[in-house]
Amino acid sequence: MAVNQTRWGETPGEPVFADSHDGSRGRSPHQLEILLHVRDYDLAATLNSGQVFRWEQNENSWIGVVGKNFARLTQTDGGILAETSTGIDDLDWLRDFLQTGADLDAVLKTFPDDEPMNLAVASCRGLRLLRQEPWECLASFILSSTKQIVQIRQIVALLCERFGEPLTRSSTTLSPPRGKGRGEGPTSFTFPTPQRIAALTEAELRACKMGFRAPSLHAAARQIADGKFDLEKIRRLDYAEARAELMKLRGVGEKIADCVLLFAYGFDSAFPVDVWVERALQRLYFPRRRASEPRLRRFAATHFGPHAGYAQQYLFHYIRTKINQVSREGREVCEENYPPQNPNGIQSFSPALAVRAGRARNGYAGSAIK
């Protein structure tokens, strides 16, 4: 068995023998797991924060595909327990995808020291940026246009099931979920290559429920498959050049280009602005006046530092998963203490007032209604 190599910010992985069907600890090389010792890593927040769309939660584990590798990941007190279809001799692909060697403390120290950012970090601490394969990331975000995350997942799943290569989770590679018997497990699929998608018809793509996005995906796949667009070239460009190059592709605007640069190429200065991020910036930084999208972009470009994209992901996850609940509770407080003055009820109050009220109910510091 190969010796595990230490990555920056990560202690060596510890091999763990998987349970056999009778509950004993097996020693089959096909059933080896490895514990990736990494601190301050929130696996659920990372995989469920809108960066990727092919990871499913199964009890306490997350199941997904990276390239042609199937993996089951489980958060533990000591780090991330990884079980893969390729064994543990070389897990550089998984470490790179999860970015376990990133110095999160150093990144967080570059964030602005203001209340909204501090609340987002406190609420989502351990959220990491992943490092995805560029084509899958690009195609996924082309398909994301005007769609919610659950819908994007459905479209991507259909695309992979119909046109990807099957990866069977067999008993010789991965142990089954708890309570399940051994034998052939459910099948996962690779993401279809540009060449595969380029060979399809637009009708076949539309059958995956992608609608008007089908021509854009097909056009991008053809350009890449024909050698007219080089995804590897992006790595050699600076941020502005890389962004402009990606936007030459049909269906790729500023937001999609920034998502790909941030999640696939590691351009931490990329700051994607979608409806959720715009809502976060508006509510948290401009609560008393509506700022235009160009104004928000100028603010983001100067306020959040060299790892602005990282800060964006914290704000994105915070507004989606935390602040909406706080805002709903805050509206209840407003309704109890300030009877509405118009037929629209609570709409007479600003979102910021509702958020501050919700924070006060939940004991957030500095959250009194003003």
Q: Cα torsion at 169, 171, 176, 180 (round to 10°)? A: 120
Tell me the DSSP string of 57-111: EETTEEEEEETTEEEEEEEETTEEEEEETT-SS--HHHHHHHTTTS-HHHHHTTS
Q: How do residues 254-277 score in pLDDT, each as one tens digit?
A: 999 999 999 999 999 999 999 999
- Report pLDDT for 86: 79
Q: Which residue has the higher pLDDT, 294 or 118?
A: 118
pTM metric for this prediction:
0.79
Q: Which residue has the higher pLDDT, 169 or 293?
A: 293
- Report pLDDT for 349: 36
Q: Which fold has domain 11-101?
A: TATA-Binding Protein (3.30.310)
| pLDDT over 70 percentage in the chain | 73
Q: Which of 85-94, 110-119, 304-313, 343-352 has the lowest mean pLDDT?
A: 343-352
Q: Which two tokens stand for residue 37?
A: 């010792």
CA-CA distance, 316 to 320, in Å (whole number)? 6
Q: Which fold has domain 135-265?
A: Endonuclease III; domain 1 (1.10.340)
- Report pLDDT for 324: 62
Q: Is pLDDT at 348 greater than 70 in this prediction?
A: no
- Report pLDDT for 169: 60
181 pLDDT tier (thresholds 50, 70, 90): very low
Domain ranges of the chain: 11-101, 135-265, 277-361
Most distant CA pair in the chain: distance in Å? Answer: 72
- Report pLDDT for 65: 95
Residue 328 carries which DSSP code? H
CA-CA distance, 191 to 129, in Å (whole number)? 20
Domains 11-101 and 135-265 share a fold: no
Within 10 angstroms of residue 257's Cβ, the number of other Cβ atoms is 24
pLDDT, mean of residues 229-236: 97
pLDDT, mean of residues 176-201: 73
* Average pLDDT over all residues of the chain: 81
CA-CA distance, 66 to 94, in Å (whole number)? 8
- Report pLDDT for 174: 56
pLDDT, mean of residues 202-230: 97
